[in-house]
Amino acid sequence: MTDTVKNSLLFALVFTLIIISGFFQGWNNAMFIVNMGIISAIMALGVNLQWGYAGLFNVGVMGFVALGGLAAVLIGMPATPGAFAAGGTGIVIALLLGAGTIIAAVLAYKRMTAGRNRNLAITAILIFGFFVFRGFLDPAVGLIEDVNPAATGYLGGLNPGTQDTYRDNGWIMLIAWPVGGLFAAGAAWLIGKAALGLRSDYLAIATLGIAEIIIAVLKNEDWLTRGVKNVVGVPRPVPYELDLQNSAVFVERAASLGFDPVEGSTIFVKLLYAVLFAAVLGIIFWLSQRALNSPWGRMLRAIRDNEVAAEAMGKDVTARHLQVFILGSAICGIAGAMMTTLDGQLTPGTYQPLRFTFLIWVMVIVGGSGSNLGSILGGFLIWFLWVQVEPIGLFIMDIITSGMADDNWLRIHLIDSAAQMRLMTMGVIMILVLRFSPRGLIPEK
């Protein structure tokens, strides 16, 4: 059996699984799995670029995904009337001063000779800068958060529409996706500058920390993201279900295909999303494949397999690592912006490392690290399992406990806990793949 046949069979298997779930749980549900599957596949491609090509151990995926979501809000939402006038200047000044402080500290570190004087100077710059920064930021934040706190209380975004009309500018979300990539790339540049070059597990700990900090910022800086009050009603690049249901042409079309307007419209919207997402996935996959098979890709793999030898051949290892770290994180950022668009809301409280970092890692490992096709397969397969393990677990628990009385404590406990089967299943899958098929379902060639 050739590789192509085997890979096609694997993909066919995953899509058959999704189609079967469509028959049992409805097509709306199946389309949800497909859409989130595509987004997961894109995230997996980003992680694979870092881990599979270059051996960089990034466990801060969640942070980059969340930054993408932030971009979706900052681009897609309309500016809050009066908010920028109230505190915008203060925020801008504060951010500039903050950046200036850090630059001054770095300059002092580079220009002055090492010793106590330098340490004192840097400490003084940082402490003074911090208080000046807070001095400008705090009042501005207070002013912005007082602007209609129940509905807005944040700066808003760049959508040219007003509070009532911004939803008509759904196309703007297509700009937000690459911007999400840029945000993530910027953060990755900062982290990469500081933490690349450390041992691999230290980079892991550093990225783990950065992700938590990004989430903490999104949760607490209400002027930027409304924090845990969430931003809802992010515009979308596809029509709204209600508009479709009110359109006579669409209702007629749906009826001729045997759908009632409500079900038809939800599925139609999800199909449009799937087309858009698949286009993004296609572009990123094509670019990744080209990169993998180019001299650049070969150099990366050479560095991954033997850093010392590659360095001896005159390759700039740190620069390549930084490059690939930024690219991979940018891909995760794009996926994050797409996910926020699909959800229609940014909810900082729902970002959890197990779901947004480690699950993506399971996808890459199961799919086959170093193989782009494998990452896509892993993305769909693991996402499908993540969604379906819960109902399957419930079903199994029902069977196991069917002999017990309805009010048996063990039965109640087992059925209540079935939802927790997910994590265990993912862990077991990951450990089994690492042990018995460490190169994954579609191994790197």
Partner 1 sequence: MDFLNAIVALANYVLIPGIAYGSQLAIGALGVTLVYGILRFSNFAHGDTMAFGTMITILVTWWMQSVGISLGTLPTALLALPFGIMGCIALVLITDRTVYKFYREQKAKPVILVIVSMGVMFVMNGIVRFIIGPDDQSFSDGPRFIISARDFKRLTGLDEGLGIRTTQVITVVTAIVVVALLFWFLNKTRSGKSMRAYSDNEDLALLSGINPERVVMITWIIVAALATIAGTLYGLDKSFKPFTYFQLLLPIFASAVVGGIGSPLGAIAGGFVIAFSEVTITYAWKKVLGYLMPESLEPNGLVQLMSTDYKFAVSFVILLIVLLFKPTGLFKGQSTT
Q: Which is nearer to partner 1, 289 or 318 (CB)?
A: 318
Q: Which is nearer to partner 1, 198 or 404 (CB)?
A: 198
Q: What are the two backbone dihedrals, phi and then psi, of residue 369, each rounded to the nearest 5 degrees?
A: -70, 140
Shortest reach from residue 184's CB to partner 1, in Å: 18
* DSSP of 372-408: HHHHHHHHHHHHHHHHHHHHHHHHHHHHHGGGS-TT-
Shortest reach from residue 256's CB to partner 1, in Å: 47
* Contact pick of 96, 99, 106, 216 for partner 1 (by CB under 8 A): 216
Q: Is 144 in the site for partner 1 (CB under 8 A)?
A: no
Q: Which is nearer to partner 1, 134 or 253 (CB)?
A: 134
Shortest reach from residue 219's CB to partner 1, in Å: 6
CB atoms within 10 A of CB 220: 12
* Contact pick of 146, 252, 316, 416 for partner 1 (by CB under 8 A): 416
Measured distance CA(202)–CA(426) in Å, rounded: 24
Q: Is 219 in the site for partner 1 (CB under 8 A)?
A: yes
**H-helix segments, 221-316:** 222-225, 241-246, 248-256, 261-292, 295-305, 307-312
Q: Is 427 in the site for partner 1 (CB under 8 A)?
A: yes
Residues 6+ apart with CB under 8 A from 373: 7, 367, 442
Shortest reach from residue 156's CB to partner 1, in Å: 23
Q: Is 428 in the site for partner 1 (CB under 8 A)?
A: yes
Q: Is 107 in the site for partner 1 (CB under 8 A)?
A: no
* Contact pick of 19, 112, 151, 424 for partner 1 (by CB under 8 A): 424
Which residue bears the tokens 């899958």?
429
Interacting positions 338-377 with partner 1 (CB under 8 A): 352-354, 358, 361-362, 365
Shortest reach from residue 157's CB to partner 1, in Å: 23
181 within 8 A of 49, measured Cβ to Cβ: no
Q: Which two tokens stand for residue 159?
A: 């959508």
Q: Is 103 in the site for partner 1 (CB under 8 A)?
A: no
Q: Is 220 in the site for partner 1 (CB under 8 A)?
A: yes
Residues 6+ apart with CB under 8 A from 70: 180, 183, 218, 224, 225, 346
For the chain, state the CA radius of gyration.
24
Residues facing 345 on adjacent strands: 232
* Contact pick of 423, 439, 443, 444 for partner 1 (by CB under 8 A): 423
- How many chain residues are in contact with partner 1, going by CB under 8 A? 46
For CA atoms 135, 138, 142, 143, the dihedral sign is positive
Q: Which is nearer to partner 1, 392 or 428 (CB)?
A: 428
Q: Which positions touch partner 1 (CB under 8 A)? A: 55, 57, 59, 130, 138, 194-195, 197-202, 204-206, 208-210, 212-213, 216, 219-220, 352-354, 358, 361-362, 365, 416-417, 420-428, 430-431, 434-435
